[in-house]
Structure 1
Amino acid sequence: MIYIAENATPSTIAHELFHEIDHTYGLTQNGALTLQIQNDYKRLLQLSSNYGKSIEDMLYLKYPEVFENGRRGIKLQEEFRGISDILNGMSRGKIRLGYRHQDDYWLKPLKLEKETWAQYGRMIYQSDERVLEFMEILFPETTTEVYRMLKEMIK
């Protein structure tokens, strides 16, 4: 069962429904996404070190069109909030591009996998081509695995 506020947006409902799918089928409990997320984060770290920059700075240099100015500096635009949250989790709270959880949230077992799955639910539901393309660029292994899992579920 999911609980949502009356003013929840459709994308938030999609996010919460993906949490429920995960809970019902035990997807992340069985190790889904762990390796792919780790590999994608290692790849981002390597790419950013090639630039001599942090991941945030590298992304801003390469993709300034997905950023905007926030109260605390640059942040990803709202439609990219799922990507912001995943990056925050991958870095255990170090990458802060606007949308995130509290740092200690990521210390709990499988929270990164669970939130990644739910954020993919949000992004796929929204069907924003710019967001879908960006998630494939940043998280190629995770994206491939999420789509594989969805195909398996929809037989």
Structure 2
Amino acid sequence: MAELSPIQPCLWFDDRARAAMQYYVDVFPDSRITSIEEYPDESLDEHFVGMTRKVLNGQFILNGVSFVCLDGGPLFTFNESISFVVSCKDQDEIDYYWSKLSHVPESEQCGWCKDQFGVSWQVIPSNMDELVRRPEQIQVMMRQKKVVIAELENA
């Protein structure tokens, strides 16, 4: 088992942890899966029934940030109360991450989106605080789905 960071987000998937890890490391630069431990054979314990070859503990790094994940079944699901912020240097980077992470159009608002696994992301410019200093800029941002830097600068 790889060494854990002092604080790490842990993502509970129903049964798609392996697919999610692979997807995320393909999206983010400087990323990799560091370990995958699978559930033991289901004949060993009643709690393992149906879990053979699913992820008991997956560890991966996204652009230098350590994550863990697991396949825990449908008991818990993701919601917008937790999200991950992707700080982007320019509009091209925003467009890239938006195209990769936004899969639920009805969840798009003010730079927030939801991916194909139900995880919420905030894809925003690194200078967002400068771009929403004035009420006019905030109003523009509130109408945006994906953040468009030029619209905020021109507000």
Higher helix share: 1
Higher strand share: 2
RCO greater where, 1 or 2, for CA within 8 Å and sep 6 or more? 1
What TM-score do you get using the length of structure 2 for normalisation?
0.28
Which of 1 and 2 has greater Rg? 2
What TM-score do you get using the length of structure 1 for normalisation?
0.28
